[in-house]
């Protein structure tokens, strides 16, 4: 009996480890590479999206900092309703890496740039 419980525990542990590189649960909505969607408070037709590619320097629940190809940092805001869909913990796990780029899709409202989507991409040109 003890042997079969140990075998089951080892099998479950192995399956959990093989499931992914992150302890963050898989998103139940759209992945971070999903097509951009407008925040609930701004209709898409009133806030057109734009995108940029750079190196992800840092990210938290309120801000995302992207280093642009010219070496300058650009800070974007994150709305509370967008944070869960963006996968902040996953993005943070890639912050500071110089071998992967990120395409940030954003809207500009009242002079502020808000992230609506983030996806891994090639290095910025």
Q: For 24-82, how does the pLDDT look when each residue is reduced to its tens digit (9 = 90+)?
A: 333 433 344 433 333 333 434 467 999 999 999 999 999 999 999 999 999 999 999 99
Walk me through the domains of the chain, giving residue ranges and CATH numbers.
2-121 (2.40.50.140)
Mean model confidence pLDDT for the chain = 74
Q: Using an 8 Å Cβ cutoff, are 118 and 30 in contact?
A: no
Taking residues 8-34, what's their average pLDDT? 36
d(CA 100, CA 98): 6
- Would you state the pLDDT for residue 46? 62
User: Which residues share a beta bridge with 103?
Assistant: 53, 119
- Would you state the pLDDT for residue 94? 95
pLDDT band (50, 70, 90) for residue 107: very high
- Residue 95 clears pLDDT 70, i.e. is over it: yes
Pairing relationship of beta strands 101-109 and 112-121 according to DSSP bridges: antiparallel
- Residue 115 clears pLDDT 50, i.e. is over it: yes
- Would you state the pLDDT for residue 125? 82
Q: Using an 8 Å Cβ cutoff, are 43 and 58 in contact?
A: no
């Amino acid at each position: 009996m003890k042997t079969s419980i140990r075998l089951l525990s080892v099998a479950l542990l192995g399956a959990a480890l093989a499931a992914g590189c992150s302890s963050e649960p898989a998103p139940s909505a759209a992945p971070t590479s999903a097509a951009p969607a407008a925040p609930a408070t701004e209709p898409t037709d009133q806030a057109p999206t734009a995108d940029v590619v750079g190196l992800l320097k840092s990210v938290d629940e309120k801000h995302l900092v992207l280093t642009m190809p010219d070496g300058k940092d650009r800070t974007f805001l994150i709305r509370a309703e967008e944070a869960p869909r963006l996968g902040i913990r996953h993005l943070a796990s890639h912050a500071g890496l110089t071998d992967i780029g990120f395409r940030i899709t954003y809207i500009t409202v009242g002079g502020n740039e808000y992230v609506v989507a983030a996806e891994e991409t090639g290095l910025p040109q």
